[in-house]
Structure 1
Amino acid sequence: MAGTGEDKLSARQELAIVALLGSSTVKGAAEQAKVSEASLFKWLKDPAFKQRLSYVRKIVTDQAFTAVGTDLQEIGRNAVATIKRNLGPPAPPAVQVRAATVALDKLANWQMVADLQEQIEGLKAQLAGQAHGEHREPPGAGGEAAGASNGADAVRVAGDAGAAAGGPDAPVHGDGVAAGPVAGPVPDEPGEAGVAPLFPPGG
């Protein structure tokens, strides 16, 4: 059989493999298989022997898990039947209450596990979508963020321009009036700020 190494081993090596699976030490397996310990250590370095040992160990492990699973299923069925039988008469009231409590606890645990499984499946689907580049921002989120950023930049640029052109730190030109958004004080009398009076003094 391909991949099992069965056709490359002798009968003694097959017995040694069975002994290895049933013993906790190489020495014990060698005694059980009636081979020398040195021979068994030598076989354990052989790729064909190791392949066959790994294959047989997997088969035995799978069979053991299957048998345990079958037993657990049978135990579970018996446990459920026992709880159902004690939920009503002729069981005493105290026993009925206890059985009902156990049933409700198990039902709550089952529901919690089902909810967690649903959440895990949702997270797995979300991660799979992100891995394939399907993640998208909520509608309008990108535009609002961009608009807010552009608006803030525009206000900042306008403020900088005002400070450069006519803000408090801007230079005062020949007419004595700042050219920025905040101008100098409004003159109370004609003639200020470089404007010639209509009626010069003494005229």
Structure 2
Amino acid sequence: MIEKKYVFLVYFIMVALEIYGQLSGKFWLVWIFKALETPLLAYYYYENRKHKLEILDKLLLLSLAITFIGLWSSYLFNKNVENFNVITIIYIIELQITLFILSKLNRDVGYNNKNDSWRISLILITAIGFIYIAFPVFTTLMQCLVLIIMVQQSLMAIYGLFRKGIDIAISISIIVIVTSNILSVIGGFIVRTAYDYLWIMSLSYLSKILFVEGVLKTQKFIQSKV
């Protein structure tokens, strides 16, 4: 198995080359490296877990496969309303699998979720402000899809943000992906800039590798308690 530091180095080099290819108009770089980044993460995770694959491991690998489909769909499809709806649905499916993973990790570390109403209340109040700004530019269907995503991300924050026993990399991953989603909406519907691809994709790829590493470390912690 390749050492973690080399996997991370290769991953970030590929991300940098993909983003450079997009910004410089050398799209062949995007095609090459977009096809390799997520499979590299899947390989890294599988190599660490292949001798003890459980349902959670299979869910994470499935999540990476759906992420791969979503990344290509968002890149290849025209950004019309119909295609954007399809891409959003793919993303909702990926988020739901992430929620299953976080819920399972919470159960495995023995965390009690009964007193978390304040967390979801705070996050949803913040989300409502964002929805108030963004919703007027959406169709009714897109408004419903975004609302689903907001609820999912609120639950992700409950299950994953700064939990005892849950690795800190997962918390950072959640913060990063929420930031990426906000920038995606701003860049896609409100204020377009020449560097949307740089910020959005950098954060998306960073979030994914942090989540994979966080899950691996959390599983090691759980196994050390057994």
When normalised by structure 2's length, the TM-score is 0.21
Name the structure with the higher helix share.
Answer: 2
When normalised by structure 1's length, the TM-score is 0.23
